[in-house]
DNA sequence: GACTGGCACTCGTTACAGTCGAGTGCCAGG
DNA sequence: CCTGGCACTCGACTGTAACGAGTGCCAGTC
């Protein structure tokens, strides 16, 4: 069980070499490229141990070694430090994000930036409604029996829904409805609204009761039930780097997974505050992604988290660099959101 | 350049066989599978002519024939009829689209439906702002110097922008602004708004002038300048069908093109009313897509066109079937929009 | 006891030769 | 104008052999 320092150094060297060359690495090449201070034969013995412990494996009997998912895990947990970003990268991030004009714009720019910097597939979750508060509710009459409900959240998200009223409602009543709804709900966290909506119906004056009842149904749907999470994606073309060597030749399962919002949300949503999560290969719960790794983190104004973002790439990825970039982008986006 | 009926029949047979088998088709197989009434040798002579004219070609000397882009073009223009949809397909379309709850929902469902039915990459443009009218403009105070501008278009699209006011504006003034803006702009086509916005500033009472000036800038940006076209995409995983045979082994350029909104808009936007457009291989203006074909059409309530939709696939695609599906989906979506 | 040099062995890669067969082009005859 | 026949081409596949990167193991050294 004892993995002494040199064995760990060998593992680190194998990971680093394999990530950069994408070819199985042998004992001789290893001593040449790293100052290990021992001979190839010694390294071979260490490799044999590492292989027995499941950290590396041989694709073929007469080939060099390749890290296993377990090997990457050890590397990420104990053998690597987060690389500091280069000044060029810092500048790129700032330049890319200033001038964003609304939330859509911020998210779009962020996801492109992330894809470009990491050269991988980037995923950004829009600020989750579940973690937002109501800033304002607007009711816009479309006809006498139809309203457009527009909800503006403090995170900048705007959701709209059509409300079919049970009967004609005069303009004055719409004004009353709007006032009542905002008095009760403005400022409330979305997750806390159901009882408030219930109260709205009960407290509504008799003449507004039917309209309010219908409205409350749509409100509940919009605010809570229909957990309308949104996702932006970019950089799928990066999957084709490394010409079909990664992902064992088929992009199919990856592309399929990327089309499922549910899957993406599971991947990048719901991280514990300020932690960066790294899922390597088969640690992933989706079979389609067992050849991929995901680096994700939460973001939000200040210390609060309102959504997640991250990247997906081959297990053979530059973890330290990717982790650094994902964190930095998340921090900048948080600052940007804090300004609004 | 006489291509008699039989030669055309041979071309049609070649296209149909190649599309379904994905393998170069030889003279013998052709007479076996189609009732051409002549011998393989005769077919070979016809093939030689077709090849000379550039409609088919041989991948290798000892292989069968494959249609060229020009061959597909002739096939689409003169040799195929649009297939009627199967009842199952009709039902699928209806089932998929009923119950859509807002515009986002409609577009999402549509693009997924298209991808599923055609088994190709589907693209749907949101109703273009340029072809929409203003239904209502809402101003929501965020702070004393900040407004959220929400525009609701008759096509169901909702755009929002933050407005930084030059100084504090009391609530009453916001109400006035809202009224003025709606009186002037509600009902107007977006493309016709610039002079109206100009008039708004000029006619504004003195105390509202500065706020109105700022607001007008944002209005113009939102309504006209920033031609904020939106696009939904689905079915990229379908690119991997036919295992790398299509697209000459590299999905890279295709995926890259699909990430560029500008490219997609050029592809599916701006079709002449009620025409279905088919772009085959190198007819396409983008180099990245010279191995692909695009079938697109416009859609909108009634006879008006508010946006485009279509699919992208290998040049070796089932054109009659795809064209039929794209048209049918566009028609259904149009009906759906007309109801709102 | 840990490290090293040496050596036999494995096995994937590459090159080459040979065979097979689908498909063609051409021609002579109906 | 169509057809059957025939020689020809050339990619796909198979089998063999040489090559070499990389390994595991062992005996020897510090």
Q: What is the pLDDT of residues A314-324, one digit of tens each?
A: 999 999 999 99
CB within 8 Å: A162 and B102: yes
CB within 8 Å: B102 and A237: no
Is any atom of strand D within 7 angstroms of residue B63's beta carbon? yes
CB within 8 Å: A240 and B258: no
Burial class (CB in 10 A: 0-12, 13-18, 19+), A293: buried
Q: Which chain A residue shows the shortest CA-CA distance from B232?
A: A232
Q: How confident is the model at residue B272 (pLDDT cuts 50, 70, 90)?
A: low
What is the number of other CB atoms lying within 10 angstroms of the CB of residue B82? 15
Task: Specify the range with the lowest mean pLDDT, choosing from A6-20, A47-61, A214-228, B322-336.
Answer: A214-228
Q: What is the mean pLDDT of residues A202-226?
A: 87
pLDDT at B121 over 90: yes
Q: Is A68 strand, coil or helix?
A: coil
What DSSP element (H or E) covers A124? strand A121-125
Chain A window 64-103: residues with CB closer than 7 Å to nucleic chain D are: 64-65
pLDDT at B47: 93
Q: What is the mean pLDDT of residues A121-143?
A: 91
Determine the distance in angstroms separating the CA of A256 from the nearest CA of chain B, rounded to an integer: 5
Average pLDDT in chain A? 90
Is any atom of strand D within 7 angstroms of residue B60's beta carbon? yes
Q: Cα separation of B145 and B167, whole Å?
A: 6
pLDDT at A297: 95
- Does the CB of A152 have a partner CB in chain B at under 8 Å? yes
Average pLDDT in chain B? 90
Q: Which chain B residue shows the shortest CA-CA distance from A115?
A: B259
| Token code pair at residue B52 | 């000379």
Rounded to the nearest 5°, which phi and psi values hold at B156? 100, -10
Confirm if B43 and B56 have CB atoms less than 8 A apart: no
- Does the CB of B340 have a partner CB in chain A at under 8 Å? yes
pLDDT at B303: 84
pLDDT at A1: 47
Strand C, nucleotides < 7 Å from a protein CB: these are 3-6, 10-13, 21-27
pLDDT at A99 over 60: yes
Percent of chain A with pLDDT over 90: 61
Q: How confident is the model at residue B101 (pLDDT cuts 50, 70, 90)?
A: confident
CB within 8 Å: B160 and A140: no
Q: Cα separation of A155 and A230, whole Å?
A: 13
pLDDT at B98: 85
Q: What is the mean pLDDT of residues B212-239?
A: 87
User: Which residue has the least CA–C1' distance to nucleotide C24?
Assistant: B62
Confirm if A267 and A297 have CB atoms less than 8 A apart: no
- Does the CB of A217 have a partner CB in chain B at under 8 Å? no
The CA–C1' separation of A62 and D20, in angstroms, is 10
Name chain A contacts of B255, Cβ cutoff 8 Å: 236-237, 239-240
The CA–C1' separation of A15 and D24, in angstroms, is 22
Q: What is the mean pLDDT of residues A139-160?
A: 88
Confidence (pTM): 0.90
Name chain A contacts of B258, Cβ cutoff 8 Å: 236
CB within 8 Å: B236 and A234: no
Per-residue pLDDT reduced to its tens digit, B231-256 = 999 999 999 887 666 786 678 999 99
Q: How confident is the model at residue B118 (pLDDT cuts 50, 70, 90)?
A: very high
Q: Cα separation of A75 and A13, whole Å?
A: 10
Q: What angle (nearest 5°) sits at the alpha carbon of residue A12, between those of residues A6 and A18?
A: 135
The contacts of residue A136 (CB under 8 Å, 6+ apart) are A151, A152, A182, A186, B140, B148
B178, B233, B236: best to mutate for the A interface, most A CBs within 10 A: B236
Q: Which chain A residue shows the shortest CA-CA distance from B233?
A: A259
Give the residue with greater pLDDT, A325 vs A99. Answer: A325
Determine the distance in angstroms separating the CA of A3 from the nearest CA of chain B, rounded to an integer: 42
A-B contacts (CB, under 8 Å):
77
CB within 8 Å: B236 and A252: no
- Does the CB of B262 have a partner CB in chain A at under 8 Å? no
- Does the CB of A233 have a partner CB in chain B at under 8 Å? no
CB within 8 Å: B160 and A138: no
Q: Cα separation of B49 and B56, whole Å?
A: 9
Percent of chain A with pLDDT over 70: 95
Q: Which nucleotide is nearest to B63 (CA to C1')?
A: C23
Q: What is the mean pLDDT of residues B206-224?
A: 88
Task: Specify the range with the lowest mean pLDDT, choosing from A12-26, A299-313, B245-259.
Answer: B245-259
Q: Cα separation of B179 and B205, whole Å?
A: 13
pLDDT at B104: 86
Q: How confident is the model at residue B226 (pLDDT cuts 50, 70, 90)?
A: low
Q: Which chain B residue shows the shortest CA-CA distance from A260?
A: B234
Q: Which chain B residue shows the shortest CA-CA distance from A161?
A: B102
Q: Cα separation of B158 and A276, whole Å?
A: 35
User: Which residue has the least CA–C1' distance to nucleotide D23?
Assistant: A62
Is any atom of strand D within 7 angstroms of residue A27's beta carbon? yes
Q: How confident is the model at residue A307 (pLDDT cuts 50, 70, 90)?
A: very high
The CA–C1' separation of B249 and D23, in angstroms, is 35
Q: Cα separation of B164 and B211, whole Å?
A: 9
Rounded alpha-carbon distances, angstroms, from residue B247 to A298, A336, B255, B313: 38, 41, 11, 9
pLDDT at B97: 85
Confirm if B95 and B331 have CB atoms less than 8 A apart: no
pLDDT at B63 over 90: no
User: What crossing angle do the helices spanning A103-118 and A87-97 adopt, rounded to 10°?
Assistant: 160
Q: How confident is the model at residue A10 (pLDDT cuts 50, 70, 90)?
A: very high
Q: How confident is the model at residue A304 (pLDDT cuts 50, 70, 90)?
A: confident
pLDDT at A227: 62
Name chain B contacts of A160, Cβ cutoff 8 Å: 102, 152, 158
pLDDT at A192: 87
Q: What angle (nearest 5°) sits at the alpha carbon of residue A314, between those of residues A313 and A316?
A: 125
């Amino acid at each position: 069980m004892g993995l002494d320092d040199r064995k760990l150094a060998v593992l680190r060297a194998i990971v680093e070499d394999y990530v950069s060359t994408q070819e199985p690495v042998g004992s001789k090449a290893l001593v040449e490229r790293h100052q290990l201070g021992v001979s190839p034969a010694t390294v071979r013995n260490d490799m044999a141990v590492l292989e027995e412990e499941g950290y590396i494996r041989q694709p073929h009997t007469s080939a060099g070694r390749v890290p296993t998912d377990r090997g990457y895990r050890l590397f990420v947990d104990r053998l690597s430090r987060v690389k500091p970003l280069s000044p060029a990268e810092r500048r790129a991030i700032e330049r890319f994000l200033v001038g964003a004009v609304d939330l859509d714009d911020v998210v779009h720019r962020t996801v492109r930036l992330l894809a470009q910097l990491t050269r991988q597939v980037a995923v950004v979750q829009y600020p989750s409604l579940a973690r937002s508060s109501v800033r304002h509710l607007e009711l816009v009459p479309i006809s006498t029996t139809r309203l457009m409900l527009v909800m503006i959240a403090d995170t900048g998200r705007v959701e709209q829904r059509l409300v079919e009223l049970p009967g004609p409602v005069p303009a004055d009543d719409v004004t009353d409805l709007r006032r009542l709804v905002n008095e009760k709900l403005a400022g409330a966290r979305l997750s806390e609204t159901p009882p408030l909506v219930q109260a709205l119906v009960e407290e509504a004056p008799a003449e507004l009761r039917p309209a309010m009842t219908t409205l409350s149904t749509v409100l509940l749907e919009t605010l809570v039930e229909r957990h309308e999470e949104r996702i932006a994606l970019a950089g799928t073309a990066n999957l084709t780097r490394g010409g079909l060597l990664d992902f064992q030749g088929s992009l199919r399962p990856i592309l399929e997974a990327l089309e499922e919002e549910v899957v993406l949300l599971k991947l990048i949503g719901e991280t514990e505050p300020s932690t960066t999560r790294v899922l390597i290969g088969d640690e992933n719960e989706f079979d389609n992604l067992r050849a991929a790794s995901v680096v994700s983190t939460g973001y939000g104004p200040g210390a609060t988290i309102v959504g997640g973002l991250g990247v997906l790439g081959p297990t053979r990825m530059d973890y330290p660099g990717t982790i650094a970039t994902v964190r930095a982008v998340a921090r900048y986006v948080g600052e940007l959101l804090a300004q609004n």
